[in-house]
């Protein structure tokens, strides 16, 4: 399909264009601020703002003396973090969907539980994460699964809220139509409400995909899990003054991991939901 190819090409061009503009802004800032001797808001020196090409080159230097290149080590770390994030995403997504269904079926349960669901998201993840790790350790949960549970904690909320909204989206006449057929509650749910909710659910899944990666990265820290992005990001931020480009490079890879995950969900959305039904995001 020529149209589709052109679309992909256009998307590729705009992504490259953004990178080019970003590099230009970054480097001109350094140039101008250095020339004029300005130091605010950010110092333009190579420690605070390494050259973009230094960040890029850092990807291909060995991570440790005589070790494999940085990019390989970090991609492997990203893969591990993504796996934890994905499992958490599945757990959180399932719980969120279940809560949405429960709330749409029973207003009483919505009134009873919704305040706690909302409150759960005001508790910072860095307070929850150590608790999950300690409790997970008590019942001999594998460490990575504790990390997944932390990711799930960030995932379930958007899915629950949007599922509920989507399940309530059918017009009153559609509900009357189902009633006229003497439909079972299951038929109303699976033949009308869930299909109607899919665009809403996919919007939530995209938010959740990004959130689950953050949850996994943060969760790796109290879990003391090695080999993932969390630990590396912490380490590089401690070494920031010595080797700032490493932190920037690792952040880039963490960002790419999130983009890849969200991209996967978007691809599924495009496969399953017709263009006319997709919510714009």
Partner 1 sequence: MEARSLGKVFGIGDAQTEALRDIDLEIANGDFVSLIGPSGCGKSTLLRLIGDLVSPTTGTLVVNGKEPGQARLDRDYGIVFQSATLLDWRNVQKNVELPLEIMDFPDAERPTRAREMLDLVQLGGFADHYPWQLSGGMQQRVAIARALAFRPALLLMDEPFGALDEMTREAMQQEVLRVWGETGTSVVFVTHSIPEAVFLSTRVVVMTPRPGRISEEIAVDLPPDRDLDTREDPKYFELVIEVREALRRGESGSGGQ
Phi, psi dihedrals of residue 153, rounded to the nearest 5°: -60, -35
Does residue number 49 form part of the binding site for partner 1 (CB under 8 A)?
no
Q: How many residues does the chain have?
A: 281
Cβ closer to partner 1: 114 or 196?
196
Q: Which of 61, 191, 234, 243 binds partner 1 (CB under 8 A)?
A: 191
Does residue number 167 form part of the binding site for partner 1 (CB under 8 A)?
no
Cβ closer to partner 1: 47 or 277?
277
Does residue number 280 form part of the binding site for partner 1 (CB under 8 A)?
no
Cβ closer to partner 1: 175 or 234?
175
In angstroms, rounded to a whole number, what is the distance separating the alpha carbons of residues 203 and 279?
7
Q: Which of 47, 179, 226, 270 binds partner 1 (CB under 8 A)?
A: 179
Maximum distance among all alpha carbons in the chain? Answer: 78
Q: Which of 1, 4, 171, 242 binds partner 1 (CB under 8 A)?
A: 171
| String of contacts with partner 1 for each residue 107-136, x by CB under 8 A | ------------------------------
Residue 236: CB minimum distance to partner 1, A: 47
Q: Considering only 8-16, 158-166, 167-175, 223-231, which stretch makes contact with partner 1 by CB under 8 A? A: 167-175
Q: Considering only 57-65, 125-133, 170-178, 254-262, which stretch makes contact with partner 1 by CB under 8 A? A: 170-178
Does residue number 198 form part of the binding site for partner 1 (CB under 8 A)?
yes
Does residue number 181 form part of the binding site for partner 1 (CB under 8 A)?
yes
Does residue number 192 form part of the binding site for partner 1 (CB under 8 A)?
yes
Does residue number 46 form part of the binding site for partner 1 (CB under 8 A)?
no
Rg for the chain, CA atoms, rounded: 23
Integer CA distances (angstroms), 249 to 22, 43, 52, 244, 253, in order = 15, 19, 10, 9, 6
Q: Tell which positions 236-275 bind partner 1, by CB under 8 A.
A: 273-274
In angstroms, rounded to a whole number, what is the distance separating the alpha carbons of residues 218 and 248?
17
Does residue number 278 form part of the binding site for partner 1 (CB under 8 A)?
no
Concatenated DSSP letters for 114-156?
HHHHHHHTTS-HHHHHHHHHHHHHHTT--HHHHHHHHHHHHHH
Q: Is 37 left (phi over 0), alpha (psi -120 to 50) or beta?
A: left
Does residue number 185 form part of the binding site for partner 1 (CB under 8 A)?
no
Cβ closer to partner 1: 41 or 172?
172
Concatenated DSSP letters for 191-219?
IIIHHHHHHHHHHHHHHHHHHHHHHHHHH
The token duo for 141 is 């949960």
Place of tokens 């880039």: 252
H or E segment at 73? Answer: helix 70-105
Does residue number 187 form part of the binding site for partner 1 (CB under 8 A)?
yes
In angstroms, rounded to a whole number, what is the distance separating the alpha carbons of residues 182 and 192?
14
Q: Which of 40, 173, 241, 280 binds partner 1 (CB under 8 A)?
A: 173
Residue ranges in contact with partner 1 by CB under 8 A: 171, 173-174, 176-184, 187, 191-192, 195-196, 198, 273-274, 276-277
């Amino acid at each position: 399909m020529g149209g589709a190819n052109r679309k992909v090409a256009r998307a590729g061009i705009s992504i490259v264009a953004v990178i080019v503009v970003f590099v230009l802004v970054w480097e001109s800032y350094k140039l101008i601020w250095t020339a004029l001797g300005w130091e605010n808001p950010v110092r333009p020196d190579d420690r605070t703002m390494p050259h973009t090409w230094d960040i890029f080159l850092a990807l291909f230097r060995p991570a440790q003396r005589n070790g494999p290149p940085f990019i390989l080590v970090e991609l492997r770390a990203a893969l591990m973090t993504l796996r934890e994030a994905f499992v958490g995403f599945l757990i959180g997504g399932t719980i969120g969907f279940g809560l949405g269904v429960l709330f749409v079926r029973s207003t009483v349960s919505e009134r009873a539980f919704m305040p706690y669901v909302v409150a759960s998201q005001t508790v910072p993840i860095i307070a929850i994460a150590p608790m999950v790790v300690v409790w997970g350790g008590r019942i001999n949960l594998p460490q990575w699964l504790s990390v997944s549970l932390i990711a799930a904690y960030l995932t379930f909320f958007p899915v629950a809220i949007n599922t509920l909204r989507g399940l309530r989206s059918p017009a009153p006449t559609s509900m009357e139509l189902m009633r006229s057929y003497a439909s079972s509650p299951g038929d109303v749910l699976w033949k009308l409400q869930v299909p109607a909710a899919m665009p809403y659910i996919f919007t939530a899944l995209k938010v959740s995909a990004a959130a689950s990666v953050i949850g996994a990265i943060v969760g790796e820290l109290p879990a003391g899990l090695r080999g993932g992005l969390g630990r590396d990001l912490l380490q590089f931020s401690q070494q920031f003054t010595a080797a700032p480009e490493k932190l920037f490079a690792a952040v880039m890879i963490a960002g790419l991991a999130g983009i890849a995950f969200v991209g996967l969900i978007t691809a599924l959305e495009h496969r399953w939901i017709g263009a006319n039904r997709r919510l714009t995001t």
